[in-house]
Structure 1
Amino acid sequence: MNRFIVLSEKKWHEEVFFNLKKEFSEAKWIHICKKEDFNYENLLSINPVKIFIPHWSYIIPSEIYDNFDCIVFHMTDLPYGRGGSPLQNLIVRGHKSTKISALKVQKGIDTGDIYIKDDLSLIGTAQDIFKRSSDVVYVMIEKIIKNNIIPIPQVGEVVEFKRRKPEESNLEFLESLENVFDYIRMLDADGYPNAFLETEFLKFEFFNAELDNKQKSIEAHVRISKK
């Protein structure tokens, strides 16, 4: 019996796992969401055919990717956008859509060979986009398994992204409503630090934003806390 692993610490990928388990019921599916469970010894006991990685915030050791077929899903049209915080970096640069690249985990950051790419809209909140991306990732995994896709080297100009820091989400120096709206929505997801403003004593965090172009205004929820 073939064994497959879905590796992600994000709750929105649980549905991907359950749908794959249902779709490929003849295989054994394992969901790993905790760092301590993703180790070489555990993988040896499972002996997976492939490890699908919709999202993982930790470095994957070479002993794992050298011995197991690890496939990570990155939210850019690689080699454009190698690196961290792809969603936020894309929106800050004005992109309205992107591709998800399924690539082989190899030495280097997002440098591996490409299995497949598929389109993704960047409209809506970060939570909306992540949910939409989960649906795309599910279809991509289907294609990789059913078509036994062989990865090919990346082609094109390399553009690297830097992982964004929480302090870069300060709205203080933004000048346009559109930029403020983008900052709020691109960080509006579980586990992400919200866009914010600060005074000497208080912090204002924004979410659930709506842009009204006619009224030239933004309505949003705000969480106010002491610093």
Structure 2
Amino acid sequence: MKVSILCTDPAHPVNGYLQEWIAVNSADHQISLVRNRAHLPGGNILFLISCSEIIRKQDRAKYDSSLVLHASDLPEGRGWSPHIWAITNGAESVTLSLLEAEDKVDSGRIWKKMILAIPRHALWHEINESLFNAEIDLMDYALQHFDSVAPLDQASAGDETKLRMRTPDDSRLDPSLTLEEQFDLIRVCDPARFPAFFELRGHRYKLTLEKLNADSNFN
């Protein structure tokens, strides 16, 4: 099959997983990784992975199926960074949905869902690893079941919730709150792209978090 992946952010940590998936599957499929919708070549499947562009009907018409990977139990959690919002609100699991792209964002028919347990101690890179590996599994599912899948409509619009785009300011900590109260926010912050930070005594400070082994010492 002829497959395109549109990932608009070359710095996104999912790119390494996508490159590995391409290498594994390139012997059996013609696969291109694209950064801009203007460069979409057309084909059988278009995967939209960490894509910030709206892909309209005329772009999707170049493909037999255009599929989105979205980390929420749709129609709940339509919008931006759903797993980050969920974890900062105390969620201990995340649902990953494989769905058809439509003009109305995150409204398409569902091909498959997966539920991922998120341990309360998992840090951003561990959460990413679980999420991105699940995305790869769903991409494999799409290839393997392309001719046999029976997509399902989403639940009624009454179950819909929408999430706004996160900004760097959403990584701001409150120095008057305890570490435990803010731990879920700290652990989801990407230290390179959206680091946790706080302001105190006239200065701004970046906070990074690293998990140590039980036998670690500081000598």
Shorter-chain TM range is: 0.7 to 0.9
Structure 1 CA distance for aligned equivalents of residues 44 and 176 of structure 2: 48
Q: Residue 47 of structure 1 corresponds to which residue in structure 2?
A: 42
- CA apart distance, 1:117: 0.7
- Listed one character per residue, the Cα deviations across residues 23-68 of structure 1 (whole Å, up to 9, x for unaligned) are 4622111112x23xx31xx33xx33200112211222233212443
- Listed one character per residue, the Cα deviations across residues 153-177 of structure 1 (whole Å, up to 9, x for unaligned) are 1125112222223223221276343
Q: TM-score, normalised by structure 1?
A: 0.78
> Which 5+ residue runs of structure 1 have no aligned equivalent?
212-227
- CA apart distance, 1:188: 2.6
CA contact (8 A) 2:4 2:31 kept: yes
Question: Is the partner of 1:183 in helix, strand or coil?
Answer: helix
> Among 161, 166, 186, which residue is 1:184 paired with?
186
Report 1:174-213 matches (<5 A).
175-191=177-193, 193-199=194-200, 201-209=202-210
Question: Is the partner of 1:77 in helix, strand or coil?
Answer: coil
Structure 2 CA distance for aligned equivalents of residues 95 and 174 of structure 1: 24
Structure 2 CA distance for aligned equivalents of residues 113 and 179 of structure 1: 38
> Which 5+ residue runs of structure 2 have no aligned equivalent?
213-219
Q: Residue 79 of structure 2 corresponds to which residue in structure 1?
A: 83
Structure 2 CA distance for aligned equivalents of residues 159 and 174 of structure 1: 31
Q: Residue 64 of structure 1 corresponds to which residue in structure 2?
A: 59
Q: Residue 96 of structure 1 corresponds to which residue in structure 2?
A: 92
Query: Percent of pairs identical after alignment?
Result: 22
2:113 maps to amino acid: K
- CA apart distance, 1:18: 2.8
CA contact (8 A) 1:127 1:189 kept: no
Aligned residues: 202
CA contact (8 A) 1:184 1:209 kept: no
Structure 2 CA distance for aligned equivalents of residues 52 and 174 of structure 1: 43
CA contact (8 A) 1:7 1:54 kept: yes
Larger relative strand fraction = 1
Q: Residue 110 of structure 1 corresponds to which residue in structure 2?
A: 106
